Amino acid sequence: MTMELRKRLKKITNIFCIFLVFGCSYYSMAGSIPANINNVYIPLIENDTAEFEIAENLTSKITQEIALQNILKISNNSDSDSSILGVITNASDGPFSFDNNEQVDEYRFSINVKIIWVDNDNEKNLIEKTFTGFGNYSINNDPSSDGIDNDNDGILDENDDDEFGDSRELAINIAINKIASDIVNSILSTW
Ligand SMILES: [Ca+2]
Ligand SMILES: [Ca+2]
């Protein structure tokens, strides 16, 4: 073996080691998930309520959030390492606050979803929890001018890029987004 070749090989080995170290530290950052769980199957969430389309929207939002966080691969196969199964047990929609004339000032849409995250190999529930999400809205005014912090993020009306469109639809989406992000946070913080 020539000196030149040996040097070159050493260089390649060093680069490989660096990748290995970075690879490992990346892995350990994502390492709160049990080692045997690399992917998750998310079938359509069941809907025990009469509210139309929320199960479809919630399922796709949860799938999107998990894909975005890059914590688990999404699997289309029920023969996966884990599954997220859910049932929307309650959707309520009604007056939340009243003005001085006892007229409804604010409505609140809220949903409860029972979620289990199952370790399929060990037949064990990694998470079993009911998540709640809500959004407030007015039926008289547009979300961008209703004086309500619809998504409860501390930014109001025209100052908040998220507060626009159909008020009830917005409230439903806010509730769904909150639940999806709480589920992802629960997955991340379980271990
Ligand atoms: Ca807001
Ligand atoms: Ca608003």
Whether the Cβ atoms of residue 58 and residue 86 lie closer than 8 Å to each other: yes
Distance separating alpha carbons of residues 141 and 41, to the nearest angstrom: 40
The answer to whether residues 169 and 116 belong to one domain is: yes
Tens of pLDDT, residue by residue over 128-169, are 999 999 999 999 999 999 999 999 999 999 999 999 999 999
Q: CA 66 to CA 152: how far, in whole Å?
A: 23
Residues 173 and 108 in one domain: yes
- The tokens describing 187, both together, are 């997955």
DSSP letters for 35-51: TT--EEE-PPPEE-SS-
pLDDT at 13 over 90: no
Q: How far is the CA of 100 from the centre of ligand 2 (A)?
A: 20
Its pTM stands at 0.80
The DSSP-derived string for 88-152 is: EEEEEEEEEEE-TTS-EEEEEEEEEEEEEEEETTTTEEEEEEEEEEEEEE-SSS-TTSSS--TT-
Question: From the CA of 20, how far away is ligand 2's center (Å)?
Answer: 49
Tokens representing 65?
Answer: 């959030």
Same-domain check for residues 40 and 10 = no
Q: Are residues 105 and 19 in the same domain?
A: no
Find the domain containing 23 and state its range. 1-30
With pLDDT > 90 as the criterion, what percentage of the chain qualifies?
A: 75
- Reported as type and span, the H/E element at residue 85 is strand 82-98
Using the mean position of ligand 1's atoms as its centre, give its distance from the Cα of residue 160 in Å. 5
Please give the distance, rounded to the nearest whole angstrom, from the Cα atom of residue 111 to the centre of ligand 1: 19
- Residue 93 CA to ligand 1 centre (angstroms): 19
pLDDT in tens, 86-102: 999 999 999 999 999 99
If pLDDT is split at 50, 70 and 90, which confidence band does 32 have? low
User: Are 188 and 30 a contacting pair, CB within 8 Å?
Assistant: no
Question: Do residue 51 and residue 77 come from a single domain?
Answer: yes
Residue 163 Cα to ligand 2 midpoint, Å, equals: 5
Q: How far is the CA of 86 from the centre of ligand 1 (A)?
A: 28
Q: How far does the centroid of ligand 2 lie from the alpha carbon of residue 95, in Å?
A: 16
pLDDT digits (tens, 9 = 90+) for 63-90: 999 999 888 999 998 899 999 999 999 9
